[in-house]
Amino acid sequence: MSIQRNVKPEDLFTLKSVTDPQLSSNGRDCVFVETVMIEEKNTYSSQLFYLNVEEKNQPVQLTFGDNRNHSPRWSPDGNTIAFISDRADGKSQIFILSMSGGEARKITNARNGAANPVWSPDGTTIAFNVSLKNGESLEADGEKEREEEKKNPIPIEIEKMKHKSDAHGFWDGKYQQIAIVHVETHKAELLTLGTYDYQLQSWSPDGKYIAAGADLSENKDFSFQNDVYLIDPKSKEMKNITIGKGSFGYATWSPDSKHIGLLGQTREYENATLAKIWIYNLEKEELTCLTADWDVLVGDYVVADFQQGVTTPGILWGEDNNSFYFLATDHGNTVLYYGTLDGAMYPALLEPQQHIYGVSTGGTLDRAVIALSKPTQPGDLFLLNVITGEKEQLTNVNDAFLKEAVLADAEPFQFKSSDDWDIHGWMMKPANYVEGEKYPLVVEIHGGPHAMYANTYFHEFQSLAAEGYAVLFINPRGSHGYGQAFVDAVRGDYGGKDYEDIMEAVDYALSAYSFIDEERLGVTGGSYGGFMTNWMIGHTDRFKAAVTQRSISNWISFYGVSDIGYYFTEWQIKSDLNDIEKLWKHSPLAYVDAMDTPLLILHSEKDFRCPIEQAEQLFIALKHRKKETKFIRFPEANHELSRSGKPNLRISRLHYIINWFKDYLN
């Protein structure tokens, strides 16, 4: 018998991420994406794989190389796959691959790349998104175009408040447009124009309309709605079907093209509002919320650090034009639900521990291919018989890793807060736990704050458990998954009851788990979790070490420097620059004199969500007061470092966290 080893940060180079399963309309053929890190090139590679869910054979690799190949979509007849690849010139373009054999064929030459392929119902054309400046031509001009891209840098002229984003950097004057390409001739044309962004969503089965999301408000700096439009691909005329009610998207069509399913919310609680299911009846021209009285969040809002390229499916219609499936975030799980136009809603698959992060039905009601993860299962595909509830595993992409590595499971618990709220969390024992031994504890705090820790694989947690730490993680008020009142409770109260929830969870853990050494407590978190880490060490000395990541320390400066600052601050702190006193009251920096816990500060240079000046202020204030602290800056990284950053930096980050706790908790 071979001796199992502990997990280490570098296992990220070994692990494979399986996402975006797409089941063909025949209910048999499935294609999916497998993503790995390439250590030698310090990058990611994504490839397409095929499997027959009935024969349950070994997956067959369809694409090769070190490129990114993703977003596979079946043609209506199930004979061809359209996908996105950067294999040609480094720009993402649409390729099509015949399942009868042969090489993949590039069919777009979009100037700035193509994304999000959507087949027409007759299979002759493909709609896609493209990024263009106003008046810019769709296709590139070859060598001349490449020379233009090498020109000297120019100043950036800024006239709008929404001029940068953490995902895309500074706005470069481009708008998301929708185009159509003919599969045989490769002739492409723009469907939308102008100075607005359009997000392509779906094509009606009868071919009459393309559904797209857009915000056509005049003052987009102060608009946070997103409407769904029906675009006639022939006349290019558009019709707004949500008429400014809130933020809507993920439009999918019933097979008879009479109904459109939407995910959306009307922003009663700003960004804390639960997404619900809406149905638009084309004959009646009527929009109805099916889950208005249902206190459950529709969609997958789990926070984790492993999967790459996860997609949101929206609602998946069945062949009866009345039934559908969808995902919902609920009490630490994501659940596959069955629903009908009459408003029936019940779980199609509910297990004690499950994070379903992908699902495809091929338009049938009796089966689904799901992507499933658990605390000790990084993620694989399963075939679900919806009628019987039985599921069969289709892939074993991390089998070798699971056989040789010791993984720590997560034990769920629930307790009552001091004001009688139910608080849900997990305790992860050290990987090589020995009964009777005492272990240090690391408390992990998620970002958002409107997100949810869940029954899913988390490499950071496993790496800490492998080093002999118990890991405590909970969903304090403000988290998704526990109803509208729970998620809204944090707004205007950052550092209040949310802080008490976490501290009471620590007290609960100390009373319930005798193996925890109360003299060796650590805390860490990122984004909102970084804010809370800063806040905690300014309000208690119980922790012997802390690591704050991509954090907020000063709400006053955050208001103007973050890509979301001026509105996020008003939504979450419920204050603006007219009330500096309140902003400062909720700023961890205001309590720096009380921070005596050794603090490691991790921050990315290109983080536009929580800009690095937040870390700089905290570091200088601590050092000026001769506090124990260290500041690590990650070049060429943004707010997503821990999830999708450069591989070497992700590994380095984990080592910094582990080593800091080793220095102060061991």
CB 236 within 8 A of CB 252: no
CB 304 within 8 A of CB 447: no
pLDDT score at 459: 98
Which positions ≥6 away from 644 have C-beta within 8 Å? 44, 308
**462-495 b/e with 16+ CB inside 10 Å = b?**
bbbbbbbbbbbbbbbbbbbbbbeebbbbbbebbb
Classified as helix, coil or strand, 172 is coil
Give DSSP secondary structure letters for 527-586: THHHHHHHHHHTT----SEEEEES----HHHHHHHSTTHHHHHHHHTS--TT-HHHHHHT
Could you tell me where the beta strands, DSSP code E, fall in 388-533?
391-393, 405-406, 410-416, 422-428, 439-445, 470-475, 516-526
464 phi/psi in degrees, rounded to 5 = -70, -45
Q: Which residue has 């997404």 as its token pair?
A: 275
Which positions ≥6 away from 579 have C-beta within 8 Å? none
- Give the DSSP letter of residue 452: B
594 phi/psi in degrees, rounded to 5 = -90, 0
Distance in angstroms (rounded) separating the CA atoms of residues 298 and 329: 6
pTM: 0.96
Distance in angstroms (rounded) separating the CA atoms of residues 49 and 81: 11
Q: How far is CA 514 from the centre of its chain?
A: 35
Distance in angstroms (rounded) separating the CA atoms of residues 439 and 661: 12
Q: Which domains does the chain have, with CATH numbers?
A: 415-665 (3.40.50.1820)
Task: Please tell me the chain's helix, strand, coil percentages from 3-state DSSP, rounded to the nearest 5.
Answer: 20, 35, 45
Please confirm, yes or no, whether 235 is among the known catalytic residues: no
Please confirm, yes or no, whether 655 is among the known catalytic residues: no
pLDDT score at 56: 77
Q: Which of 85, 204, 639, 642 is catalytic?
A: 639
pLDDT score at 2: 59
Q: Which of 527, 551, 587, 642 is catalytic?
A: 527
Q: What is the mean pLDDT for each group of 10 consecutive residues in the chain (666 residues)?
A: 84 97 96 97 97 91 96 97 93 96 94 97 98 92 59 87 95 96 97 96 98 95 96 97 94 98 96 97 97 96 95 94 97 96 89 92 95 97 93 96 96 98 98 96 98 98 98 98 98 98 98 98 98 98 98 98 98 97 98 98 98 98 98 97 97 98 96
What one-letter code names the amino acid at 371? A
